[in-house]
Amino acid sequence: MSRARRALDEAGPVLTAIGTALLLWIVVAAIWPSILPSPLSAWRALRDKIADGTIPEATLKTLIRLVFSFVAAILVGTLIGMGLAASDFARRGFGKLIVALQVIPSPAWIPLAIVWFGATERAVVFVAFVGAFPSVTLATMASLRQVPPLLQQAGRTLGAKGWALYGSIIFPAALPGYVAGLQQAWGFAWRALMAGELVVSAANAVGLGHLLVRSGSDLALLLAVLAVIMLIGVAVDLFVFGVIDRRIRRRRGLVIA
């Protein structure tokens, strides 16, 4: 199958869904124009804010916060998850605490973040971090524990020990579950970040969430910013985690040529 055909197969369902949503949007906007601006109005607002640099600046600031908080969540969550997977006592005790942290809605952390860090960027980053790292921790722990003992025994028989055993046997076997956990954690981090930016409005703060708040009653601008937020989410899912997932499945012989 050619590369163009594969790209079309991947993008076809997405484009179909987007086209259906746009058609529904046009119909609803035509019936209730007072509550829903037309796609053309939203496009004009998006074009104007891109032209004056408002949306590009807000998007860049938001993505910087996201990358910082998500990388920190991956590092902390992976280390804690490895520790929980290695100790049955820690897993049965502290594992439940991580589950409790995961079920707390991200906006519930905002008052505590403001008390600790004030209405600053650090508060927003903290909310995104705490929204993501429990998922990374639980995914790391679960994926490592689901590696078949037979694979580990085979690795030890071939002479793999310590980090060599983890690097050549355990980690590769746990990779699909780990990546799925990262994909879930990314979604939690993105939503938590948006919640943090919506609530924590520091002076002169710039971000997509802040832009949503400042759009006020301008529904066209509000929809334009929401479209940018959704497009970023779809792009990350399709071009980051989608690519990683295909490569993993291809290496495991799960993709039909």
User: Does the pLDDT value for residue 165 go beyond 90?
Assistant: no
- Is the model more confident about 32 or about 238? 32
What band does 158 get if pLDDT is binned at 50, 70 and 90?
confident
Which class would CATH give 37-251?
Answer: mainly alpha
pLDDT for 255 equals 64
The pTM assigned to this predicted structure is 0.87
Could you report the per-residue pLDDT of 38-50, keeping only the tens digit for each?
Answer: 999 999 999 999 9
Could you report the per-residue pLDDT of 132-148, keeping only the tens digit for each?
Answer: 999 999 999 999 999 88
User: Does the pLDDT value for residue 12 go beyond 80?
Assistant: no
Question: How many other C-beta atoms lie within 10 A of the C-beta of residue 120?
Answer: 16
Could you report the per-residue pLDDT of 78-119, keeping only the tens digit for each?
Answer: 999 999 998 888 898 899 999 999 999 989 999 999 999 988
